[in-house]
Structure 1
Amino acid sequence: MNPLRSAILAAARSDRLRTTITAARPTRAVVDRFVAGETTADALRVATELAGAGCVVSLDHLGEDVTDAAEAGRVVDAYREVVAALADAGLADRVEVSVKLSALGQALGADGERIAADHAASICAAAAEAGTTVTVDAEDHTTTDSTLRVVATLRETWPWVGAVLQAQLRRTEDDCRALAGAGSRVRLCKGAYAEPESAAHAVAGEVRASFARCAGVLLDGAGLPMFATHDPALIGPLTERLRATGRDPRTVEFQMLYGVRPDEQRRLAGEGHTVRVYVPYGTQWYGYLMRRLAERPANVGFFLRALAGRR
């Protein structure tokens, strides 16, 4: 793994650095670029702007690794609130929500998986009533089996529940084959967690090659592939394949993060592709921000300029 990326991901786990960085006023410039804000109103404002620009959206209420049952309940309440707000604003057909099971209690001991599944079901029920959908995010490789079990359970009632697979994991090509069935919504991303080499590809070129193979499996399947990447070396061949095969662009999504390559988002949308922007919001932005910095060195320069007051 790139030493800079390793250092940033280590910083994401440092309570001391978390305190220092979150207290620094210039950090706000970076947060505002990648995070919609802290409230439901902020999330709706950004979602409305993006929908007006021709994109669809996935909202992520930031938080993970919750070890307090009451906090997990508050996360559920936040999701139910934003889903109801989407319905009231007439955005439910263009904006869904993404959830992390670790924010819903997955780590709460032996019953964590059941607790998280019950909480996710509550969010899915609210989403169904509002007319929108839910995608269950991937986290580090130790949670993959548990997360996919929960997704399978949720899909028994709500078959539109989205799954997320990470191309950096060595197992993912097989998981793509298992999840490429009719109607299956699968978001394929590279992966943003520090993983052991035994479980994950360690070299950027290997991750890119794995993504391309996994994308091919999903495109050959009967589901809805959702390609979450900003990498031109992946986007170019994917769009060319869609053109060459004459595939309806509405049967594929390109997904990108809020604040990352917005010009490319608009370009793809302008060409008729479905572009979904992943929009995080909430107060627990530190870990998310660190992973964004680790993914792209240019973001580190932006961050350092902001801290120095030279945004």
Structure 2
Amino acid sequence: MNMPARMLRLLSLLQGRREWTGGELADRLGVTDRTVRRDIERLRELGYPVAGTTGTAGGYRLSSGTDLPPLLLEDDEAVAVAVGLRTAAGVAGIDESAVRALAKLEQVLPDRLRRRIRAVGTAIARISLGGGPVSDPAALGVLAAACRDREMVRFTHRGVERKVEPRNLVTAFRQWYLLAFDPSRQDWRTFRLDRIGMPVPIGLRFPARELPEEPAAFVARALASAPYRFTATALVRAPADVVEARLMVALPGKVEPVSARTCRVHLRANTIEPIAADLLLVAADYTLDASGGVREALAAVAGKLTGTRPDPPGAPGSR
């Protein structure tokens, strides 16, 4: 491998992982430790902020600087980034940033990749629901880096300062969630990004922790068990798999089989409209077990749908 190609490969390695030892880089490049040190100095002369790290073996990492250096991507990485940017162009709050970044990326892509990405973009159809939560690109970037580097962050959540070990960012039902381990509670927690203050890395590393299940499944289960303002249960005269397929959002445990022809649907929401929508979507006869407050709220929704209002207590025609 000639020197220019080796320098590019070294830069790609430094960008792909937070920290490398000199020996690891030498093995990857097929050179001596001394050659690695010389190449590191060349990168520094070119303006790349390569910092030395302390430790038993010592090492190198590409730290942040005042300028954004060129980023080297493999072919499959470039395609993945471009497709991700096309998808992110529909996320409130980062849509304009995604479009600008995509334009810059496509401008420098070789023809073979540009054709692949445009083919994927043509095949993708997206429906924008609108009215979703606005995502802060800066917060997403900080949390994504903290998840990658296993670095603790602090932020305020509903007025309370939290210090957590970020694990994953999860999108669910038009919301962004942070899945993190909270040392003060010795348990995993989920945080909606639109409910936390700007996260700040605090420079403390933490060891990898094993999740009890896959991140998306964990967040879905946490959402299903969270407290909600309105709750009800419907005994539906239809098979569980049929009902589950009809519902727009079927969190774990929401649909419970009772028999081959009946199931129980657990309804939970902070507003009454999603519960009313689910009852319509089951498209089958059901028996509702709900409090008087839930029934009154459902009656109000029905009145809106029909353009009428339910009779107030004691009005003519009421019982």
Q: Which category describes the TM-score, using the shorter chain as reference length?
A: under 0.3
Higher relative contact order (CA 8 A, sep 6+): 1
**TM-score of the pair, normalised by structure 1:** 0.27
**TM-score of the pair, normalised by structure 2:** 0.27
